[in-house]
Chains A and B, each alone.
Chain A
Amino acid sequence: MSSSHDKPVDPNQVVLWSDDYEGHDVISTRTFGFWMYILSDGMLFATLFAAYGVLSYSHSYYTGPTPAQFVAPWYTFIQTMALFLSVLAYGFSMASLKTGSKAGVINGIIASMVLGIVFVGLDIHDVLRMLSIGVTPEVSGGLSAFYALTQVHAAHIFVGLIWMLVMLYQILRKGFTEDVVGRLISLRMFWQFQAVMWVFIYVFVYLWGYMS
Chain B
Amino acid sequence: MSHGHSNPIEHPEVQMASRGSYLTGFIIASLLMLAATILVSGQVLAPFPLLLTIMGCAGLAAIAQIYFLLHIDISEHNIWNTVALVMFIPLFVITIGLTWWMFSQLYLRTMPMIPGMPGMH
Contacts and interface: CB of A to CB of B under 8 A. Distances in A.
A43 B58 contact: no
A63 to B, nearest CB: 14
A84 B34 CA distance: 12
B115 interface: no
B36 A207 contact: yes
The main secondary structure of chain A at its interface with chain B is: helix
Contacts of A74: 37, 41
Nearest to B80: A32
B95 A47 contact: yes
Interface of B: 1-5, 8-9, 11-15, 17-19, 21-23, 26, 29-30, 33-34, 36-37, 40-41, 47, 50-51, 54-55, 57-58, 61-62, 65-66, 69-70, 77, 80-81, 84-85, 88, 91-92, 95-96, 99-100, 103, 107, 111, 117-120
Given A31-B13, A199-B58, A58 B117 contact: yes
Contact of B100 (A50, A176, A203, A207): A50
Interface stretch (A2-10, A94-102, A119-127, A157-165): A94-102
Nearest to B14: A97
B22 A203 contact: no
Interface of A: 21-28, 31-32, 35-36, 39, 42-43, 46-47, 49-50, 53-54, 57-59, 73-74, 77, 80-81, 84-85, 87-88, 91-92, 94-95, 97-100, 176-178, 180-182, 185, 188-189, 192-193, 195-196, 199-200, 202-204, 207-208, 210-212
